[in-house]
């Protein structure tokens, strides 16, 4: 069936960073990108990777946040409460990935009504944003993506996660714990400090030149000599603790219409690098949107995911509905099976690039894109001898895609479920910490497209994902629920920018088509196609044979050590067991009771 070993759970203790190197391998007769490892790579056993329970389960990217969420559940809180506590703890222990300065998408299944809700707390562009805002006035060209465009005030969107979590707590939180008290575990950790992990130390080191531009950021994450905090050093965040404490006592208005709002605006507009456009009314007027989730079916399973402005739900549903037309489980990890997996993703990414953006600004033909007929029509375009897209354009530093953003999956004793993906976009977002407030501001506006023809040609329509005032940039976040016969089957999501889509897709296929156990499904090397070329995790495939075969189909393949950091929960209704798994590529923990 597959070539995936049933090896015992492992942990990728060190994240891998590399640079791309295009070269020719004489005996393979095709070009291959390969990332060259710059850091060590150890696989260590971890008892925390996967867990089974009977009643409730939490999977997050860090043991501190998993513990905080479990404590909330054990005190009588529900999945919504637990997810909120986990988010604030993640803000402390993964300050590079998500937090109060960012945005997210929250999917909620209410067991009593069997209804799925989805909430959009995506960052919005300031009202003064405009399509050319990321073009260098001197050259007319877009600012280079890394490190220029992603750094400073210009890329900061109006943060939405705090208001979204207040909204979901008001609607669905239990009465056991107040919204304010859900900050307590994070306040304690921010005040008392915690040892910097090897992953966080590497990420600070990687971003230290950006963090140095902003004294409030350097003060927290660098030492007095300007070096990154080392692994094991204790990271104290008293300013962040103070911000949380203040919101706990006085409520979220101080963030959206009070002193903290004023501090955010000042930090953005007076940033020493790329000062931005955000104004006080942008924060005051920020709205959380409740949206209909996107829905589809795959081999008898029903899926619910996040709709626009996320492209994630639509893209996985489109790709799955193409895959459904073939016997993927028989094809397995053969060259033909992998070619199919790649082509289905390519087609979905083509539509993503063409149509997806903030639904308030353009017509997105959701019904057509999600229809089985359309999947059948597009599947006819698959050429079994020739890759659809071999190499198109350049990726910006794609090795960094797997490590920003974070995901939380939770089910409580009542069967309520949360899939919550949350982000500040790049690692350490814009690089700006709001002085005196201790939190990092996102750089989500870098998720806008800078399509030159749409920006420069006054006759052409603005691209659905070009920057505009108050618009939300297209996301790839894919918090997803899978049901079988009306019963919960899986909760899944991952970080990783536009690789999120492929990560979630691979895990779903591994479980449904290849009938893998959850631990194997999450650990198996993934094949991702984002419309340009194949990106494949190395390791467990019969790599040379596969690469030769894909090369003969004219695929370009980039081997990567890892992407994603999925947090997954799977329900075995027959055995009445809940399994949780936190991706061994990260440092997280799945735990239940
Ligand atoms: N920040 C990643 C995304 O929204 O796709």
pLDDT digits (tens, 9 = 90+) for 25-70: 222 323 333 332 222 232 333 435 899 999 999 999 999 999 999 9
> Ligand 1 pocket test: which of 475, 479, 504 has the largest number of ligand atoms within 8 Å of its C-beta?
475
pLDDT in tens, 100-152: 999 999 999 999 999 999 999 999 999 999 999 999 989 888 999 989 999 99
Q: Which of 105-109, 192-196, 329-333, 573-577 has the lowest mean pLDDT?
A: 573-577
| pLDDT value, residue 518 | 96
Would you state the structure tokens that stand for residue 211, as one six-digit string? 């963090």
DSSP summary character for residue 520: H
pLDDT recorded at residue 27: 28
- 302 C-alpha vs ligand 1 centroid, how far in Å? 24
Q: Over the stretch 173-214, which tens digit does the pLDDT of each residue have?
A: 998 999 999 999 999 999 999 999 999 999 999 999 999 999
**Tell me, what's the pLDDT at 391?**
57
With beta carbons less than 8 A apart as the criterion, state whether 20 and 399 touch. Answer: yes
To the query of whether residue 405 is one of the catalytic residues in this protein, the response is yes
The verdict on the CB of residue 81 being under 6 Å from ligand 1 is no
Where helices occur in 446-531 by DSSP H, the ranges are: 452-456, 499-512, 518-523
Q: Do the Cβ atoms of 491 and 56 come closer than 8 Å? A: no
What is the number of the ligand 1 atom nearest to the C-alpha of 423? 1
Report pLDDT for 32: 34
CA distance 229 to 95: 13
Task: State the burial class of residue 6 (Cβ atoms within 10 Å of its Cβ: 0-12, 13-18, 19+).
Answer: exposed
Q: Which atom of ligand 1 is nearest to the CA of 425?
A: 1
Is the sign of the CA dihedral 127, 130, 269, 238 positive or negative? positive
Q: What is the pLDDT of residue 563?
A: 87
Pocket test for ligand 1, best of 121, 425, 448, 495 (most atoms within 8 A of CB): 425
Nearest alpha carbon to residue 417 among 471, 480, 370, 334: 480
0.85 exceeded by the pTM?
Answer: yes
Bridge-based pairing of strands 43-45 and 10-12 is antiparallel
Mean pLDDT, rounded, of the chain:
89
Q: pLDDT band at residue 20, thresholds of 50, 70 and 90?
A: very low
Q: How does residue 392 score in pLDDT terms, banded at 50, 70 and 90? A: low
Cα–Cα–Cα angle for 166, 421, 571, nearest 5°? 105
Quick one: pLDDT band at residue 18, thresholds 50, 70, 90? very low
DSSP label of 541: S
Angle at 401 between CA 397 and CA 406, to 5 degrees: 150
Question: Is the pLDDT reported for residue 23 higher than 70?
Answer: no
CA 82 to chain centre: 19
In contact, 120 and 104? CB cutoff 8 Å: no
- Give the pair of three-digit tokens for residue 227: 């070096």
Residue 88: band (very low, low, confident or very high) from pLDDT cuts 50, 70, 90: very high
Percent of the chain with pLDDT over 70: 88
CA 576 to chain centre: 30
Q: Distance between CA 309 and CA 311 in Å, rounded?
A: 6
Our answer on whether the CB atom of 421 is closer than 6 Å to any ligand 1 atom is no
Going by DSSP bridges, is the β-strand pair 589-592/57-60 parallel, antiparallel, or unpaired? antiparallel
Structure confidence at residue 370 as a pLDDT band (50, 70, 90) = very high
Q: Are 553 and 385 in contact (CB under 8 A)?
A: yes
**CA-nearest residue, atom 2 of ligand 1:** 497
E-state strands within 299-389? 301-305
Q: Where residue 326 falls among pLDDT bands split at 50, 70, 90? A: very high
Confidence bin at 7 (pLDDT 50/70/90): very low
Condensed to tens digits (0 to 9), the pLDDT of residues 224-245 reads 999 999 999 999 999 999 999 9
């Amino acid at each position: 069936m597959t070539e995936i070993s049933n090896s015992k759970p492992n942990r990728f203790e060190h994240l891998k960073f590399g640079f791309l190197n295009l070269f020719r391998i004489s005996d393979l007769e095709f070009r291959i990108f390969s990332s060259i490892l710059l850091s060590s790579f150890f696989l260590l056993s971890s008892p925390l990777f996967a867990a089974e329970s009977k009643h409730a389960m939490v999977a997050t990217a860090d043991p501190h946040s998993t513990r905080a969420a479990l404590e909330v559940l054990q005190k009588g809180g529900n999945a919504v409460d637990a997810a909120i506590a986990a988010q604030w703890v993640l803000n402390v222990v993964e300050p590079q990935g998500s937090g109060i300065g960012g945005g997210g998408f929250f999917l909620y299944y209410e067991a009593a009504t069997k209804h799925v809700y989805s909430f959009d707390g995506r960052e919005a562009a300031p009202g003064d944003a405009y399509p050319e805002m990321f073009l260098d006035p001197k050259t007319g060209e877009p600012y280079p993506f890394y490190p220029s465009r992603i750094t400073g005030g210009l890329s900061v969107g109006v943060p939405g996660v705090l208001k979204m979590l207040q909204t979901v707590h008001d609607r669905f939180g239990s009465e056991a714990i107040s919204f304010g008290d859900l900050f307590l575990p994070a306040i304690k950790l921010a005040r008392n400090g915690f040892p910097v992990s090897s992953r966080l130390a590497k990420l600070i080191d990687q971003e230290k030149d950006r963090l140095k531009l902003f004294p409030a950021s350097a003060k927290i994450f660098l030492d007095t000599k300007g070096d990154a905090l080392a692994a094991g050093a204790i990271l104290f965040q008293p300013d962040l603790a103070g911000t949380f404490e203040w919101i706990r006592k006085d409520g979220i208005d101080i963030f959206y219409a009070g002193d903290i709002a004023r501090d955010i605006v000042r930090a953005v507009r007076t940033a020493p690098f790329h000062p931005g456009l955000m104004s006080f009314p942008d924060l005051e007027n920020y709205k959380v949107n409740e949206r209909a989730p996107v829905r589809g079916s795959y081999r008898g399973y029903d899926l619910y995911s996040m709709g626009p402005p996320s492209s994630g739900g639509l893209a996985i549903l489109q790709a799955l509905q193409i895959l459904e037309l073939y016997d993927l489980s028989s094809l397995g990890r053969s060259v033909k099976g992998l070619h199919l997996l790649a082509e289905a993703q390519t087609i979905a990414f083509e539509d993503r690039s063409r149509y997806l953006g903030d639904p308030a600004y353009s017509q997105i033909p959701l019904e057509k894109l999600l229809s089985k007929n359309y999947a059948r029509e597009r599947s006819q375009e698959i050429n079994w001898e020739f890759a659809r897209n071999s190499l198109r354009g350049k990726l910006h530093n794609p090795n960094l895609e797997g490590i920003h953003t974070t995901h939380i999956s939770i089910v409580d004793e009542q069967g309520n479920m949360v899939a919550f993906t949350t982000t500040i976009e790049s690692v350490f977002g814009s690089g700006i910490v709001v002085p005196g407030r201790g939190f990092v501001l996102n750089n989500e506006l870098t998720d806008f497209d800078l399509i030159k023809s749409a920006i420069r040609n006054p006759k052409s329509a603005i691209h659905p994902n070009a920057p505009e005032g108050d618009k939300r940039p297209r996301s790839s976040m894919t918090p997803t629920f899978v049901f079988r016969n009306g019963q919960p089957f899986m909760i899944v999501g991952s970080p990783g920018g536009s690789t999120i889509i492929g990560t979630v897709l691979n895990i779903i296929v591994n479980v449904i088509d290849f009938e893998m156990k959850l631990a194997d499904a999450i650990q198996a090397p993934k094949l991702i196609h984002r419309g340009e070329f194949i990106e494949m995790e190395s390791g467990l495939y019969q790599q040379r044979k596969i690469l030769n075969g894909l090369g003969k189909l004219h695929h370009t393949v980039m081997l990567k050590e890892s992407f994603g950091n999925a947090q997954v929960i799977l329900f075995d209704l027959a055995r009445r067991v809940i399994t949780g798994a936190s991706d061994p590529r990260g440092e997280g923990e799945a735990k239940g009771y």
